[in-house]
Structure 1
Amino acid sequence: MNCQNLVFSRHAIQQMFLRQISKQEVIRVIAYGEVIEEKPDDTPFPSYLILDFVDGQPIHVVFSYDEVNDTGYVVTAYIPNPNLWTDNFRKRK
């Protein structure tokens, strides 16, 4: 997904720090990752769960997109727990 503006929520920044996920890694996931879940009715904007593998490690990013203002919002980012995901981290158990 590409967007002109990217905003990181306070929650995202805190979780990224705790989980040792860099801003560059999150940007890469958003730019090159695979959308594995879509929630078009989320408010205030549609949201997406995006997966990419960075240096062999899976990373999920919850991303919300304001199409009118071409602004993306990083809600959170995390390394998915293999006990909770199947299909190479693409489907919830």
Structure 2
Amino acid sequence: MINKYRQHAIKRMFERGITEFDIDLALSNGRVIEDYPNDYPLPSCLWLGYIGSRPIHIVFSDNHSFGERIIITVYEPNPTQWSEGFTTRVTS
């Protein structure tokens, strides 16, 4: 799949010092931690991957018809909002 980046993702990547290479690396070593099957226009998911020891969350949709992975947003999870391991949201 070819990665396509939404404007929002590009802006967040710039703000957070995350490169396309970093995204490729995080996508190669992580896993889906949440699914959003009802997202429109395509189902999406939340992925946890790592850039070295830095955890990264990536929200993306796969458009199999065009062979594209659409990167929606990217961020480093806040440890106060996520359980240890960054796989489960902390509920208050």
* TM-score of the superposed pair, with normalisation by structure 1: 0.89
User: Are 1:20 and 2:20 an aligned pair?
Assistant: no
Structure 1's unaligned 5+ residue stretches are none
Q: 1: distance between equivalents of 2:24 and 2:61?
A: 13
* TM-score of the superposed pair, with normalisation by structure 2: 0.90
Name the counterpart of 1:82.
Answer: 79
Tell me, yes or no, if the aligned pair for 1:40 and 1:47 is still in contact at 8 Å: yes
Name the counterpart of 2:28.
Answer: 31
Shift >6 Å, 4+ stretches: none
Q: 2: distance between equivalents of 1:52 and 1:30?
A: 6
Letter in 1 for 2:65: V
TM-fit CA distance, 1:87: 3.7
Identity %, equivalent residues? 36
The 5 Å alignment of 1:1-93 reads 3=1, 5-93=2-90
Structure 2's unaligned 5+ residue stretches are none
TM-fit CA distance, 1:13: 0.6
